[in-house]
Every structure is written in structure tokens, then in C-alpha cells.
Structure 1
């Protein structure tokens, strides 16, 4: 059972199905200089304390059809090692269950390849869906998918997505007003087959109008400013337009817009947040504000194009362009940082986030968005 840190808001946390332990950890100050304890952070703890592998990364989080939380990540000796598998845990309403391996990269001939970047998706009236990647590297991986009719207790046989369809690269798909699924994807230099082979770092969006049976792909989001962007997440705006925000090599969070349901996208620009070439995630809240979880850091002079993956922060925006940093979740330097966050808002209004904690554990944080400044 996760060792949860009591922060107040006990009723909200209980509604989210979490058990709070008696121990405490130091809360980082938020952007206003106030300690987060008793403010927005309702609970914080690890999904597991020990694991049968030394490293884990790239968590994903979803609320299932019954309102439970489920999470997945990859774990193994280290990223790119053939023993890396996809691990899954379900919160039973009181605590996180023991994680189990649900997918490997074992091939038909008995050889083995690493798995990567699981993404959970719960479409209404459909099975819980798990997307992930298999392959020796992001330049040559391919997309896989499997489904569960019992909230992850058992899974279908995995199947490979069609050539050129990678599935959501890191962040969650979204359900559009017309019922279509929109998957935020991307390719890296030399990656892919068919129309997107060798496309460099580019944002691609995959749209399905038949619950994932077939997919159509957008053209890459144009990049006249030579912005290298991957791993987008999708936001909704009142006028019906969509916005995607993404990781870049250029030191800022990239942004692109669509006014046709994700079929085509405007040229890449930037929002006013830094990015140290590290993944972020974002969600449009029920109150219309947009929330991003990200590393508020810059590139180091000795490592241009790459910066530290701390601190880990939350930012809010009213329009998707101007963002204000409102909370710091982690600030203490650690070797592998606090990385690859995932964020959702559950039906009770609470925000849940997971992220890699120094490549050894997955932390889960519960946030009350009404208490964010």
C-alpha cells in the first residue's frame, strides 16, 4: 500500500479512493511562496515502495468506467533494455494494488525488445485501452494496443497498430464532441514508415471515428521556425478549437492549434513556459482553465538542448498562451529528476498526477484545483 502524506482535504481524498498514512514529507513552496501543505495538495505518495526492477519511467493515469484509478508505466533494468515491460496497478478504492506486468516485447521468434511509454485511455461505453510501443529505439519502434473489459484485471492479446500509426506517444487521447478519438502522437528523426518516414521531430495527430478500429493521420504540424517538438497533449477552447502543447529541443513549450477537429494543425509557435527538453502533460479543467505539469527549468550551458528535470511545477492558463506558475511539487535536485508527468481531472473535480521520481518509483499526487491561485 502506498504511504500517503496527509495534507488535509480528507473527504476529497477519500472520494478519490486513497488511503492517507500518518507520515509526512516536506512540501515545496508554491509560486506565491506559501507552503503547499493545507493548500492545494490533498495527498502525495508512491504507488509502490519496492519493485522487481531497478528503474521505471513514463507513467500514465486514467479513471476507469467505475470511477477507480488505474496507472501504468514501464520498468526494467534501464530504458532501452530488452527486459523492460509494461506494469499496471489498480486502485481498489482504498489503496493501490500490487503492480503486475501486463505486456512485454517478446517476439514470435523468442527474441525480446524493450517496451515504451504506455498510455491508458477509458472511452465511454468501451473497454479500458492500453497503448504502448515496442522496438529497439524511438526511431524504430511501433505501436501496440490491448484492451480490458474488467478494468485491467485481465487483458486481451496485444495487437500491432497499422503501419504508420504509433498511437499516443506519451499523453492521453481525448474524446471529441463528435465522438471521435484524437490521439496525440509524434515522430522522431528517421522514425516511421510510409508518409512520415524520416520526418524528424514532428507532431502527428491520429483520429479514429470507429473506436480505434481504423485511423487517419494528420499531416505533421508545420514548423517554419524549425521547432523540434514531440509528445503533445491536447487542450479544448470555448470556440471549438483545439490546442496542443509539447516538449521541444529549443527551450520552450511548443504550441499548435486546430480548427477542424485535429485533421490539420497550424504552424508551431511557443507559450511562455520553459522546457528543458523534457515531457510535460496538460488538461483542460471543468472550469475552463488549462493546467500543465512540467519542469520549470532551462538548458545548461554545458548541455545545450537539455536541462535538469527539476523543479516539477504546475501552471495555469485562461487562454492557453499566457501561463502562470502556481505550485511547485518537487524542487530538491536528484540525479534523474522528476519526469514524464501525467495529469487528469476525475469526475469529482480533483486533479491527479503521476510522475517518475528519480527513475526508481512512481509518485501520485492529488490536487484540489479550486485551491490553486
Structure 2
């Protein structure tokens, strides 16, 4: 005959419940935010007025959401997602390098199969790549979805140490305690003074708002901060003014002013406060931002009535006021789309812009500050 198990003390369940409750409300102290790497002092650009544009090689019937980076040797690299249509099973993240002979034939660097194999999770679709080059490392972040739409995305990270020829197995970043969903990337990170990165991301499951991920130099998450705003916002694009101050320009995803929304930090990204919407239209579409050599800010986005044109605006007062600068692309036909811009300031002073062209491909434009200021015909 087996012996009966001794009865548990009556107080033990109460103690365990109290410990679980305490753990649920336990807050890990926030790490002190490092400074941003401040931008260089403003200087006049010496490049003459110039503009050139070209299509990147095709990688599928439909293409969207380009990202840009510059390698240590000066070459540009681009990534985007393409396939038969957005969200289809055959969509992959594609990669191309600009060399002396032009852009290389695109190579698939992230697919449903490679992502599932690296993360040991089911993957239904992939999208939205982000690139960043620093030293010998080329970082790639991109989203993947197991079930549902883009609001159910998870964020994946992979690294190349040979300029994009090969990539590490993707790692799914743990950005949320609840099912680890609804973290999406779109715009490039910022360098931090401690060698890490600040990656702007966004959340769109039920609520829609920007977020700030503080990452170590190797890509591990150290902290996550919500970008507070009164309206629904997506896809923050960030520019730093100095070591502590930065501004984020966000897609207006609400039913309000249809203007580019703003949130700012004055403590290195440890907290973000909403500002007034800009006098720049936003038809619920992604924007890109850049600090130019002159110290002025450049913004790329769409007109108020849709994505049938891609426009540029310039601010000479740290983003307080904006003036229309150039129309990069426009088309009168219904359904034309020029959207999801990505901006990059090359080390030679040239400004690079990549964007979705009619959902059929990715177009790359390169131009100078002098071209922005040139009198329009």
C-alpha cells in the first residue's frame, strides 16, 4: 500500500499567489539611455546640381518597401520585398548591390522557408526589410507573419559580414510578452554613442503607434519605449539634432488631419512626447527623413489625395516649418503609385532615394543639394 502524500500547508497557495502577483507587477529599472551619435557640423555642399534615376533589376511581378545602406567601400546596397503580389507565399526579401556596372542581379536573402528554418516557427509571409551598415557588419531586419495580416508581424534580424554575399540564420526578436507579435520595421536605425543602435519600429495590433527599440551593437534588445501620441501613427522616421534631441516623423494612420505627425525626445530616446502635426500632407502613407550636410532637413512623402506622386519638402528650422522642394515622380493615370521612400546621405554628399514604382519595381534616384535649390522651370 502506498503512503499518502503529506497535505500542503494552507498558507502555501496564498504565498505562491502573492509571489506571482508581485512578479507580474515587478518593473525592471530602465537602463540609462546613451546619447545619440550627433550629426557633423553643418557645412555647405560642394556638389553641382545633378539628378539621375534608374530602375533596379526586377525580382518579381510586384515590388514594395525598399531600404538603402552604404558599405564601407562606398557601394550602395538595397533590399525590398517582391513576388507575385504583396503577402503572397512566393514573396521574398531581395538584395542588390550597386557596382561599376550598375545594380547587380537581385538575390533572395529571406524567404518563408529560410525564416521558418532559422526561427523554428511557421511563416506565412515576409516583408518590410531594413538595412544598416556599420564597420564590417551589414544588418538586416524584416518582418514575418504566421497568421493574420501585417498587424500580426514579428521582427527578425540577420547579419552579413561579407557585404551581403551570405547571411546568418535569422533570429526572431522578442519584442512583446504577448505572443511576440505586432512589431514591424520600416526605417533605418540611428547610431548610439555606446556602440549600439536605436531602431524605430511600430505596433499596429488594435492600437497603432511608434516605438523605439534600443539595441546592443550585435542586435540584442536592451529597452523598448512607446512613442506617445494622441492620434494613430505608424512607421517613424528619425533625425537627431544633437546627442540628446531627436525628432520622429510618422505616418498619420488615423482619421484626423491627414498631416505628417511628430514626436520628439530630449533625453536620448528614453521618452518621446507628441508635437504638433506638420504643414505637410500625409494620406496614410510612409515618409522618409534625412539631415542634409547643410543642416537642413529633407522629407519625402505623398500629396494629400494619395500616392500618385512622390514629393520632397525642406526645413531650415529643425522641422518647425516646411517648404515644397521637388516633385520626384507623378502620373495622371488612376492607380499609379510612387510610395514608401527611403533616404540615404552618401559619404560623397549625394542624396539617394529609393521608392516603390507603380508596385511593379523599385526606382533609385541620386541628386545633390544644389539640385534641390535650383530654380525650377
TM-score, structure 2 as length reference: 0.78
Partner of 2:56: 47
Asked if 2 retains the 8 angstrom alpha-carbon contact of 1:131 and 1:167, the reply is no
Q: Which moved more, 1:59-68 or 1:174-183?
A: 174-183
Aligned-residue CA RMSD in angstroms?
2.1
Partner of 1:142: 154
The gaps in structure 2 that reach 5 residues or longer are: 1-47
Deviation (angstroms), 1:227: 1.3
Say if 2:241 is the partner of 1:229.
no
Partner of 1:92: 99
Alpha-carbon separation, structure 1, partners of 2:219 and 2:228:
26
Alpha-carbon separation, structure 1, partners of 2:150 and 2:276:
24
Asked if 1 retains the 8 angstrom alpha-carbon contact of 2:157 and 2:219, the reply is no
Alpha-carbon separation, structure 2, partners of 1:371 and 1:112:
44
Asked if 2 retains the 8 angstrom alpha-carbon contact of 1:64 and 1:151, the reply is yes
Deviation (angstroms), 1:321: 1.8
Partner of 1:117: 128
Alpha-carbon separation, structure 2, partners of 1:79 and 1:143:
18
Partner of 2:343: 343
Asked if 2 retains the 8 angstrom alpha-carbon contact of 1:61 and 1:343, the reply is yes
Asked if 1 retains the 8 angstrom alpha-carbon contact of 2:50 and 2:370, the reply is no
Asked if 1 retains the 8 angstrom alpha-carbon contact of 2:183 and 2:203, the reply is no
Q: Which moved more, 1:207-216 or 1:226-235?
A: 207-216
Partner-residue secondary structure (3-state), 2:370: helix
Deviations 1:183-210 (A, max 9, x none): 11110133xxxxxxxxx11111011244
Alpha-carbon separation, structure 1, partners of 2:217 and 2:70:
22
Asked if 2 retains the 8 angstrom alpha-carbon contact of 1:118 and 1:130, the reply is yes
Partner of 2:141: 131
Deviations 1:55-77 (A, max 9, x none): 01000011112111000100112
Say if 2:299 is the partner of 1:292.
yes
Deviation (angstroms), 1:138: 1.8
Deviations 1:77-98 (A, max 9, x none): 2112222110000112331000
Q: Give structure 1 regions of 4+ aligned residues with deviation exceeding 3 angstroms.
A: 108-112, 165-168, 177-180
Alpha-carbon separation, structure 2, partners of 1:267 and 1:112:
35
Alpha-carbon separation, structure 2, partners of 1:103 and 1:239:
34
Deviations 1:10-45 (A, max 9, x none): xxxxxxxxxxxxxxxxxxxxxxxxxxxxx8552111
Partner-residue secondary structure (3-state), 2:187: coil
TM-score, structure 1 as length reference: 0.79
Q: 1:75 aligns with which of 73, 82, 90?
A: 82
Say if 2:329 is the partner of 1:330.
yes
Asked if 2 retains the 8 angstrom alpha-carbon contact of 1:168 and 1:185, the reply is yes
Name the one with the larger helix percent.
2
Alpha-carbon separation, structure 2, partners of 1:122 and 1:323:
30
| CA spacing shift, 1:261–1:168, aligned 2, 3 Å | farther
Deviation (angstroms), 1:320: 1.0
Deviations 1:90-138 (A, max 9, x none): 1123310000111112235896511110000112x34100100000422
Alpha-carbon separation, structure 1, partners of 2:143 and 2:220:
18
The gaps in structure 1 that reach 5 residues or longer are: 1-38, 191-199, 299-306
Partner of 1:366: 366
Asked if 2 retains the 8 angstrom alpha-carbon contact of 1:168 and 1:183, the reply is no
Deviations 1:150-172 (A, max 9, x none): 11111111111124287761110
Alpha-carbon separation, structure 2, partners of 1:336 and 1:228:
26
Say if 2:195 is the partner of 1:185.
no
Deviation (angstroms), 1:314: 1.0
1:24-39 pair list within 5 angstroms: none
Partner of 2:311: 313
Partner-residue secondary structure (3-state), 1:139: helix
Deviations 1:334-366 (A, max 9, x none): 524101010000100000000000000100000
Asked if 1 retains the 8 angstrom alpha-carbon contact of 2:143 and 2:184, the reply is no
